Chains A and B, each alone.
Chain A
Amino acid sequence: MSKFDKKRSKSQPAISTASLPDIIFMLLFFFMVVTVLRDAELKVKVVTPNATELTKLEKKSLVNNIYIGKPLAKYANEAGTKARMQLGDKFADEKDIPLFLEKHRQQVPENQRGGITSSLKIDGKVTMGVVSDVKTALRKSGQLKLNYSAKPRAE
């Protein structure tokens, strides 16, 4: 008994930290894979409405985002207080839509261009006038697949 005790106290093993980097790296890779670096800073206030019939957008690279909402307070001087559209990271008008869509199309491989979806992230309080103008502009430039971005609602 005494022999056993003695041996144990002598070796007093420090916990090996050699495998710690491996564990951390594993976590690191997980987060690297799931990370989507936010592409644009939101300059308009967007609180999407709730809906039940939702479809998940799968391919992130085939989606372009169009935001519509009231400009944030700090951009009120530049953009006014009425609902505005944001394309990429700046305020835009309907006439900027074709160029925006074309720029996104160029980044998509040719055989996947049919699957390009425009995700409309629109604030629930926005009136339909702005929204229909954007929809008309999208139709005119041949972008017909739309997604009205919405939050799931518990029924």
Chain B
Amino acid sequence: MGKKSSKDRLSNEINAGSMADIAFLLLIFFLVTTTIVSDKGVLVKLPPWSEEEPDIAKLNERNVYSILVNADNQLLVRGEPTQLRDLRENTKIFIMNPEGRPDMSEDATKAIVSMKNDRGTQYETYLEVYNEVMAAYNELRDEAALSRHGKAYEFLTKDQAKAIRTAIPLIISEAEPTAFGEE
């Protein structure tokens, strides 16, 4: 009799002991399938497609910073062989033209970086060149932000950042690659 009453009392509680096991099972499943990836990369905006080739003849030559990358991943910047590590500094000097040289850009707003590569150029090199040009512009914007507002570019308000973006616009023109060195 006494035994029965104790059994009654027990059956009132659901045994939660196995709950942990179930939860563990689910937990391990999600642990295994989880990939905490954050996709990072160089963000670019392509120009809209148009059938005719853009006419670059009417551009003033002094404003165009031409970068050629050949199938052997060598750089030719404005007719001169250049190393990748010098590219960033040279680009910055070209855009701002601090000495007012007649063969460099009239003004940061008019400077255009023109990139052209072969079909055999390695993607890695292409991205490195692109990255260096982007870095040059980002550094210039940072410097402008510091001198104008005393803050880094990323901490500026929207209007301030926009003003600097218009003063130093990032213009990269990419030509169709020449059919050379395709594997």
Contacts and interface: CB of A to CB of B under 8 A. Distances in A.
Given A49-B124, A57-B40, A149-B39, A127 B27 contact: no
Contacts of A56: 38-40
A29 to B, nearest CB: 9
Contact of A57 (B24, B26, B30, B41): B41
Interface stretch (A5-13, A91-99, A100-108, A116-124): A116-124
B131 interface: yes
Contact of B48 (A37, A128, A144): A144
A28 B23 contact: yes
B138 interface: yes
Contacts of B59: none
Contact of A49 (B17, B40, B44, B128): B128
B30 A128 contact: no
Contacts of A152: 40
A70 B25 CA distance: 37
Interface stretch (B2-10, B95-103, B106-114, B174-182): B174-182
B160 interface: no
B118 A128 contact: yes
B127 interface: yes
B39 A125 contact: no
B56 interface: no
A75 interface: no
Contacts of B33: 35, 37-38
A118 to B, nearest CB: 10
A27 B35 CA distance: 15
Interface in A34-53: 34-38, 48-49, 51-53
A31 B26 CA distance: 10
A128 B36 contact: no
B34 interface: yes
B16 to A, nearest CB: 6
B113 to A, nearest CB: 14
A20 B47 CA distance: 57
Contacts of B39: 56-57, 60, 63, 119, 147, 149
